[in-house]
Amino acid sequence: MKPTAQTGVYKSDSIKDVADSLNLPNISDAVASALASDVEYRIHQVIEEAARFMRHGRRTVMTTSDVEQALRVLNIEPLYGHSSNNPPTFKRALPFPHTPAAGPVYFVEDEEIDFDRVLREEKITLPKGVSWTAHWLAVEGVQPLIPENPPAIPKEVGPDVKPPLTNGVGAAPALAATKKQEQQLQQQQQLVKQVLSRELQLYYTRLTSSLLPPGSDLTKRDAALASLRTDAGLQALLPYLIKWVGDGVVRGLKEGGLSETDGKVLEVLISVTGSLLANSTLFVEPYLHQMLPPILSTLLHSSLPPTHATLLRTSAAQTLSRLLTEHSTTYPSLSPRIMKTLLLALISPGKSSGTRHGAIRGLVAIGKEAVRKGLVEGGGAKVIGGECSDDASLVAAVMDALRVLRVPTDTVDALDASNPADAAVKDELISLLGDYFGERIAQDAAWARTILVGVDP
């Protein structure tokens, strides 16, 4: 059967030309006619979808973006390289003399680029890519003088006053230079004013009045501490609360710190510091250097109220342990510095029993390695055994700290002095811990070997 003549816009000859370019010669007329009809249907479908986008855009001219959206709707890969901002210009080709029956042919004329003109033109420098960085807006209320921050507002200066004359001669140039340096320093230390809302001021007043004096309602005090542990939105009050705790600890220790009231005040202030550290919504890292002095002062103070000394030092040690656990990864030098402070308080001559007791509790709170480095390798146990062996509470604190290094066992066997291996272990133990604690630890062979396992040779 002879195929019907094609009456569409898209000719079967175009299908054959495309087939020849794809190395598919000798395609039949029926196949070419069918493909031409299908292509024409697809073109009509795309144009209809593009016209719909054109009408929704309230335009009368169809753009390449309309066609691109139509292709996306029909799940067809869009044609790249065409933009509505730079539409292509089609040019009609001259008629072919050999094939006068062929229809008109349009093509996109390529732009000719003059390399000499391009080389003579000024080169355009591409801008840097988008990036981001972090910087401090303010540290302790002081705005750092960095390019990212706005410039500091200069203080209002009165009318210029001429410097006084000395014997008819003006001030020396050194005085002017000193004055300039003072002005620069004052400009660098200019504070950024922070206005607390009325609600936060009322919260601060009621919070501090609920916490102190310690004889107030215990229910209110517990509610205030719970609020500090869990409430969000307290970041603006954080520096004021830390300063309030620091001033309270200094005042309590400076006045002697031996009365019952002072002990209760210090307990409340240490609890406030622990509650602030427990609040996950607060960013306390910029204030760690202000939180550490009250904790260490309470932990290492020589004279605390006798009825509150153990509880105060235990609470301070636990707070210190929490602070180091959460922030030692951010500040790797924090733990070694605190260990050095505790070790100096432990082995320095002339230190009181209370200070050494607090240092031992601090080392236990930090962890096993701190106990090993402070009491064993640092010589803390040896110093206490030689100087304070008559202090039962201090000796018990050292034994409890060394017990952290002990591995639990069912049986306890003493070191055998007749055995050369046990004798060597005992001699090394005495050289590290001293005679007093060495003889005591030697009664448990497993404990003695565990202590010596991690010691650096």
Q: Which two tokens stand for residue 8?
A: 């569409």
- Beta-carbon contacts of 199 under 8 Å, excluding residues fewer than 6 positions away, are none
144, 146, 149, 155: CA torsion to nearest 10: 60
How many CA atoms lie less than 13 Å away from 221 in the CB half-sphere? 15
At 278, list the tokens.
């427990």
Is there a contact between 385 and 434 (Cβ–Cβ < 8 Å)?
Answer: yes
Instruction: Specify the residue for token string 């733990």.
Output: 335
Please give the pLDDT value at position 174.
56
Phi, psi of 107 (to 5 degrees): -145, 160
Tally of CB atoms within 10 A around 85: 7
Q: How many CA atoms lie within 13 A of 215 on its CB side?
A: 3
Show pLDDT as tens, one digit a residue, over the chain (457 residues): 445 555 577 888 888 888 888 888 888 888 888 988 998 999 999 999 999 999 999 999 888 889 989 999 999 887 777 776 777 777 888 776 666 666 677 777 777 888 888 888 877 777 888 888 888 888 877 888 888 887 766 655 555 545 554 444 444 555 666 766 666 666 555 544 566 788 888 999 999 888 888 776 788 888 999 999 998 888 889 999 999 999 999 888 876 556 788 888 889 999 999 999 999 989 898 898 899 999 999 998 888 888 888 889 889 999 999 998 888 888 888 888 898 888 888 888 888 888 888 898 899 888 888 888 888 888 888 888 877 777 788 888 888 888 888 777 767 778 777 788 878 888 888 888 888 888 888 888 888 888 877 655 5
Structural domains in the chain, CATH included, are 12-84 (1.10.20.10)
Cβ density class 175-197: b for 16+ within 10 Å, e for less? eeeeeeeeeeeeeeebeeeeeee
> Nearest-CA neighbor of 360 among 328, 383, 333?
383
Query: Rounded distance, CA 9 to CA 36, Å?
Result: 9
Instruction: Output the pTM of the full model.
Output: 0.56
Q: How far apart are CA 447 and CA 86, in angstroms?
A: 84
